[in-house]
């Protein structure tokens, strides 16, 4: 718990971020570190709440309530309050293979369901988490730990995103020989190319962990496409005792309106991936927003990342269209604790845009109706209209255009950040896997077995687009069930 009366004595504090107008000049992480004593004080706020929803990891109203990987949060909060950092790290690593990732990019459903958050600002769980693991690296406590013995079983993990990395780590821990296949040039999946460097440093944080995993005996094969002519699914199944598919939900949602084929309109991941590749390679081969009017269609984390990236390119203007209404400042009556709080938040990208241009770039209850182009086929404007959400004849809320609210917005770069429809189908077909009605790989949660014996599926390719921390949950679970399949029983959590 921490200090018994800490939640009454101390207020929530988080580390300061670098000034917005300063940090948009580079690609470095924007969070600053908090002094040790202040961290310990924040740990003291963890209260003896009796029922710690923070690590419950359940779905309420379709949203995560508490940590999906069941981090032992009250335990390590108490340990850092008592200055027992090594023990805190041990407790953290019991449930989380990669706290340096979740401590940076997870939206922290644990804080949304913190008992203290029902009456006061939540305990700063996310910041404490990343501080513990970074202390572990600084002190040299985190070292490669190869398994003491090998089982002789070989497992192929297809996809090196969050689910794939956690599955590989756990299967390797069980003593299996693990090979991770990745079609990109570097491992990490969404962590490498879907999240910008200012949120998750690729060299100092992500590749640090990849090197550690390699030292533990995991083999990464990049630039390798599974399911094609070079590496057919049948060959993979013949050469390995089991296969775990963790390819994510990478099929983006399109916007098929007039002018959608114009040059200068890109999916968000195309924009973000090219930018990170150029940053790592030191090249100028990327989709530039420099001196352009940028319109981002879609909210969420991906839209925010497009805002932050465009600002670092020195865009002329940036506007983010959101078809939904602005969330309330406080929980609505139908969104009680410990549900995920659906309240208005200003993320780093919006904060930076406001500092640069004087206002939040988000425009709510607005959708695009047409893309207008120049004679050379490049986009020059986006036609928009405001919408009102009304019930149709089936009682479903749908957006309806508001007459007279039409507007033409200049744009030389349009980024589509409207989420994902599901996994790409060719690989699924090559394995002959059964899909569910949403086109995801059919495999029961907590079992992860597909319709093909010896083939498991986890993460977004199984559950649909979701949080990174859910991918970690599923990767660990798939590893457990794969180990059970190979050995008859398992000791993996």
At 15 the pLDDT is 93
Mean pLDDT to the nearest integer, 137-162:
98
Give the residue ranges of DSSP H helices in 139-255.
162-173, 207-215, 233-239
User: Using alpha carbons only, how large is the chain's radius of gyration in Å?
Assistant: 23
* First-residue to last-residue Cα distance in the chain: 24
Mean pLDDT to the nearest integer, 263-271:
98
* Percent above pLDDT 90 for the chain: 95
Give the confidence band of 167 by pLDDT, cuts at 50, 70, 90: very high
Does the pLDDT at position 48 exceed 90?
no
pLDDT in tens, 467-490: 999 999 999 999 999 999 999 999
Cβ neighbours of 56 (radius 10 Å) = 18
Cβ neighbours of 27 (radius 10 Å) = 18
Does the pLDDT at position 347 exceed 80?
yes
333 conformational bin, left if phi > 0, alpha if psi -120 to 50, beta if neither: alpha
Q: Model-level pTM?
A: 0.95
What are φ and ψ of residue 405, in 5° steps?
-100, 10
Does the pLDDT at position 353 exceed 80?
yes
Give the confidence band of 63 by pLDDT, cuts at 50, 70, 90: confident
Cα maximum dimension of the chain: 71
Does the pLDDT at position 50 exceed 90?
no
In angstroms, the CA 443 to CA 263 distance is 39
Write b or e for each residue in 334-356: b if 16 or more Cβ atoms lie within 10 A of its Cβ, otherwise e. Answer: ebebbbbbeeeeebbbbbbbeeb
Detail the DSSP E strand segments found in 323-448. 362-364, 366-373, 379-391, 397-401, 407-410, 413-416, 420-422
At 81 the pLDDT is 96
The yes-or-no answer to whether 6-138 and 154-250+421-487 have a common fold is no
At 64 the pLDDT is 87
Mean pLDDT to the nearest integer, 286-306:
97
At 267 the pLDDT is 98
In angstroms, the CA 24 to CA 414 distance is 20
Does the pLDDT at position 1 exceed 80?
no
At 2 the pLDDT is 77
In angstroms, the CA 237 to CA 368 distance is 45
Contact status, residue 288 vs residue 409, Cβ threshold 8 Å: no
The fold for domain 6-138 equals Fumarate Reductase Iron-sulfur Protein; Chain B, domain 2 (1.10.1060)
At 100 the pLDDT is 98
Where along the chain do its domains lie?
A: 6-138, 154-250+421-487, 254-418
Listed residue (44, 27, 35, 64) closest to 313, CA to CA: 27
Enter the tokens of residue 276: 């990170």
At 12 the pLDDT is 96
pLDDT in tens, 112-128: 999 999 999 999 999 99
At 212 the pLDDT is 98
Write b or e for each residue in 413-442: b if 16 or more Cβ atoms lie within 10 A of its Cβ, otherwise e. Answer: bbbbbbbbbbbbeebbebbebebeeebbbb
* Average pLDDT of the chain to the nearest whole number: 96
In angstroms, the CA 443 to CA 182 distance is 22
pLDDT in tens, 387-412: 999 999 999 999 999 999 999 999 99
Mean pLDDT to the nearest integer, 303-328:
97
In angstroms, the CA 386 to CA 261 distance is 23
The fold for domain 154-250+421-487 equals FAD/NAD(P)-binding domain (3.50.50)
Mean pLDDT to the nearest integer, 301-328:
97
At 362 the pLDDT is 98
Q: What is the DSSP string of 278-319?
A: HHHHT---S---TT-EEEEE--HHHHHHHHHHHHHTT-SEEE
At 3 the pLDDT is 85
CATH number (1.10.3720.10, 3.40.190.80, 1.20.1250.20, 3.50.50.60) of 254-418 reads 3.50.50.60
In angstroms, the CA 357 to CA 322 distance is 19
Mean pLDDT to the nearest integer, 94-123:
96
Listed residue (300, 412, 291) closest to 350, CA to CA: 300
Based on the number of CB atoms within 10 Å of its own CB, is 281 exposed (0-12), middle (13-18) or buried (19 or more)?
Answer: exposed
At 282 the pLDDT is 94
pLDDT in tens, 432-473: 999 999 999 999 999 999 999 999 999 999 999 999 999 999
At 46 the pLDDT is 94
Contact status, residue 341 vs residue 331, Cβ threshold 8 Å: yes
Angle between helices 300-312 and 348-357 (to 10 degrees): 40
């Amino acid at each position: 718990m921490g200090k018994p009366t800490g939640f009454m004595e101390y207020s929530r504090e988080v580390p300061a971020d670098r000034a917005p107008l300063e940090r948009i000049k580079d690609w470095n992480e924007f969070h600053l570190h908090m002094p040790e004593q202040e961290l310990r004080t924040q740990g003291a706020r963890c209260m003896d709440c009796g029922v710690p929803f923070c690590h419950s990891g359940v779905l309420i109203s379709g949203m995560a309530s508490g940590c999906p990987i069941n981090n032992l949060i009250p335990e390590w909060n108490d340990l850092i309050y008592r200055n027992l950092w090594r023990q805190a790290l041990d407790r953290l690593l019991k449930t989380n293979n990669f706290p340096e990732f979740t401590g940076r990019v997870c939206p922290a459903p644990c804080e949304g369901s913190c008992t203290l958050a029902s009456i006061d600002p939540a305990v700063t769980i996310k910041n404490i988490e990343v501080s513990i693991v970074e202390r572990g690296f600084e002190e040299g406590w985190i070292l490669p730990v190869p398994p003491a013995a090998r089982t002789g079983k070989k497992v192929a993990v297809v996809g090196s995103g969050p689910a794939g990395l956690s599955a590989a780590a756990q299967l390797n821990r069980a003593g299996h020989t693990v090979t991770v296949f990745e079609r990109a040039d570097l491992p990490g999946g969404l962590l490498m190319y879907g999240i910008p460097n200012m949120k998750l440093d690729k060299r100092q944080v992500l590749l640090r962990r990849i090197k550690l995993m390699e030292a533990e005996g995991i083999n990464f094969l990049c630039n390798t496409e599974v399911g094609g002519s070079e590496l057919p699914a049948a060959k993979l199944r013949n050469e390995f005792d089991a296969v775990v598919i963790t390819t994510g939900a990478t099929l983006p949602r399109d916007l098929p309106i007039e002018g959608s084929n114009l040059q200068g309109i890109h999916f968000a991941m195309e924009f973000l991936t090219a930018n990170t590749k150029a940053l790592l390679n030191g090249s100028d081969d990327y989709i530039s927003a420099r001196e352009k009017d940028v319109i981002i269609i879609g909210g969420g984390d991906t839209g925010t990342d497009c805002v932050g990236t465009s600002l670092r390119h020195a865009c002329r203007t940036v506007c983010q269209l959101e078809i939904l209404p602005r969330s309330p400042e406080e929980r609505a009556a139908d969104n009680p604790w410990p549900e995920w709080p659906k309240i208005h938040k200003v993320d780093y990208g919006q904060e930076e845009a406001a500092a640069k241009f004087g206002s939040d770039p988000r425009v709510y209850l607005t959708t695009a109706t047409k893309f207008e182009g120049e004679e050379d086929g490049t986009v020059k404007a986006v036609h928009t209209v405001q919408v009102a959400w009304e019930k149709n004849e089936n009682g479903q809320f749908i957006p309806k255009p508001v007459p007279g609210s039409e507007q033409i917005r200049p744009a030389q770069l349009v980024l589509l950040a409207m989420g994902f429809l599901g996994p790409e189908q060719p690989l699924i077909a090559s394995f002959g896997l059964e899909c569910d009605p949403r086109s995801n790989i059919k495999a029961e949660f907590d079992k992860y077995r597909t319709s093909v014996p010896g083939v498991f599926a986890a993460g977004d390719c199984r559950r649909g687009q979701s949080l990174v921390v859910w991918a970690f949950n599923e990767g660990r679970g798939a590893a457990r069930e794969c180990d059970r399949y190979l050995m008859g029983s398992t000791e993996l959590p």
